[in-house]
A and B are shown apart, each in its own frame.
Chain A
Amino acid sequence: MRSVLRQVAIRALWAIATLIFTSILVFTATQLMPGNVAQLILGQFASPEAITALEVRLGLDRPAIVQFGSWFGGIIRGDFGVSPRMEVPIAPILIQRLGHSLVLAGLSLCLVALIGITLGTIAALRRGRALDRVLTGASLVGISMPEFVTGSLLILFFAGILPVSGFAPPQEGLWRWLSHLVLPVLSLTFIMLAHVMRTARVSMIEALGSPYVRTAVLKGLPKRTVVLKHALRNALLPTVTVIGINVGYLIGGVVVVELVFSYPGLGRLTVFAVQNRDIPLIQACTLTMAGIYILASFTTDMIYLALNPRLRAE
């Protein structure tokens, strides 16, 4: 029990260290940005005096390390500053958009895990037969179709049947809310599904060929028990890792899909910030996405720990 707590503590500390390093990286990247920030805000024809005055007001004349300190201190208090382009505080918008994105990502991840593991298991049980080959072939196509291709094709086929852009809050009715989510979630699910299915299939095949499964079969246990209780539990370990790794991919996918379907989430906000060179907004958005990923990796480690008795015993 004590070793489990120690491992949890080590991973938690490592996650915090990574987050601090990431924030330094984000801050440095935005500092390197070409062009003068005050000039970007005031426009080409601003007088040098006006630019200097704005720099002093924004604190841009201070050394980089001091600027980092006040930025990072603000974030810890939940203050992400003000967006120069939108001229509003960032934190409330960030939280609202993050909420929209998490719904999209969460639904996709659940669907991917559920369908991916089921299809992978079925393909492994039917290994080498027609169904396995169809599923494996389909997954190859799935891996090769980026979200914006799948999304564009879905729009082409479902325009007029399902909403192809925007967002409806759940207060406006459950169906309206869900109908705006169907196509974005499908686009995200398709490409990740292939990854998860392939991993689940391979690890299931490995587990089915192992000595403990043979023992279970020879003991006369029903096939259902052998597959679900003995093989699947062990096959789940690599699959969970792959799902965890896919969260990093999912974050990129969410950015793309939100643009395809004009979905008001964190991804579209980030692209807006990058295109408009809105530095505080870029910092807030990228750091939030990195934070989500670090949290997801930590959670994956914890699930892995819970599923793998060998790690707990060490």
Chain B
Amino acid sequence: MDAAADRRTRRADLGLRLGIIALGVVLVLVFAAPMLLPFDAETMSADAILSPPDVRHWLGTDHLGRDVFARTVLGGRSTLALAVAATALGVGIGASVGMVAGYKAGLIDNLLMRTSDAVMALPSLVLAMLVMVAVGSGPAAILLAIVLIFAPRAARITRSVVLNVARLDFVAAASVVGESQTSVLVREILPNVWPNILVEACLRFSYAILLISALGYLGIGIQPPTPDWGLMISEGAAYITAAPWMIFGPALGIVLAVISVNIVGDGLQERIGARLRRTTAHV
């Protein structure tokens, strides 16, 4: 490894560490702060309507006199929890399908990949809107929509790695020795594929946050009065010149969460990059 590459790796590791710290701060704020807050996210107060940030209300209050900081923090909790669940489920299902498709090859592979191609032919937001139309809005519908958006891509990426790994000698050796197909998949192939799955999950996680917020903003995701970042920004749009602080809180929440996840994702990708380059010749 030459000096420049070494320096780059060290900088990427520093980035990874910074990203993990930033993500930790966001998580602590979002999951611990609600217990310490003096305000409830849904309590309205008639004498504090659209009041600017001060010592009492750190991020001001909204058009119904609700504390913006409390709502931002609580909105973050539901968004991040939903994003984690949807990403884990979507990428998990996709990766499993991709592993089976890549290992089995032939007809099953063709069928699974053609189906995922066809689902991917719909733009993400359009697919999400169709799911909302079909099963109604709410957290479960959002979860389903994100799983449908993430699974095909994860399947495709996993499959391409498995195709390369399945050709290697140790996999053939394992089958010759008499390991069952499931055992080969889990014990021989999975350990070589999971770094790619992890990077994909990290990249997708930040997209899940953006998608949940966008649906909330469009008024077809999380429904009021539940606090949600996207929903808060769309409510604040009507008061943007009179009370811009209504959107500052949720906007800051989205940007901080997504940036820290992206930094962690970039760092992870750089760190296991050498390994990825070895196993995936052409993704």
Task: Report chain A residues within 8 Å CB of B52.
Answer: none
- Per-residue CB proximity of B228-244 to A under 8 Å, as 1/0? 00100110110011001
Judging by beta carbons under 8 Å apart, are A152 and B259 in contact?
Answer: no
Give bound CA distance, A30 to B213, whole Å.
24
Give bound CA distance, A256 to B123, whole Å.
13
Q: Choose one: A144, A155, A277, A297; the contact of B121 (CB below 8 Å).
A: A297
Judging by beta carbons under 8 Å apart, are A152 and B131 in contact?
Answer: no
Give bound CA distance, A149 to B229, whole Å.
10
Judging by beta carbons under 8 Å apart, are A22 and B237 in contact?
Answer: no
A282-B133 contact given A144-B259, A149-B254, CB 8 Å threshold = yes
Task: Report chain B residues within 8 Å CB of A153.
Answer: 251
Judging by beta carbons under 8 Å apart, are B129 and A274 in contact?
Answer: yes
Chain B residues at the A interface, C-beta cutoff of 8 Å: 4, 117-119, 121-126, 129-136, 206, 210, 213-214, 217-220, 230, 233-234, 236-237, 240-241, 244, 247, 251, 254-255, 258-259, 262-263, 266
Judging by beta carbons under 8 Å apart, are A286 and B130 in contact?
Answer: yes
Q: Choose one: A140, A256, A294; the contact of B214 (CB below 8 Å).
A: A256
* A255 part of interface (Cβ distance < 8 Å): yes
Chain A residues at the B interface, C-beta cutoff of 8 Å: 18, 21-22, 25-26, 28-30, 32-34, 128, 140-141, 143-146, 148-149, 152-153, 155-156, 159, 248-249, 251-252, 255-256, 259-260, 270-271, 274-275, 277, 282, 286, 289-290, 293-294, 297
Give bound CA distance, A291 to B134, whole Å.
20
Give bound CA distance, A307 to B64, whole Å.
57
Task: Report chain B residues within 8 Å CB of A148.
Answer: 213-214, 217, 230, 233-234
Give bound CA distance, A274 to B221, whole Å.
12
A152-B240 contact given A29-B130, A29-B134, A274-B220, CB 8 Å threshold = yes
Task: Report chain B residues within 8 Å CB of A145.
Answer: 254-255
Give bound CA distance, A25 to B134, whole Å.
11
Judging by beta carbons under 8 Å apart, are B240 and A252 in contact?
Answer: no
Query: In the complex, how many angstroms separate the beta carbon of B219 from the nearest chain A beta carbon?
Result: 6
A275-B219 contact given A30-B133, A146-B213, CB 8 Å threshold = yes
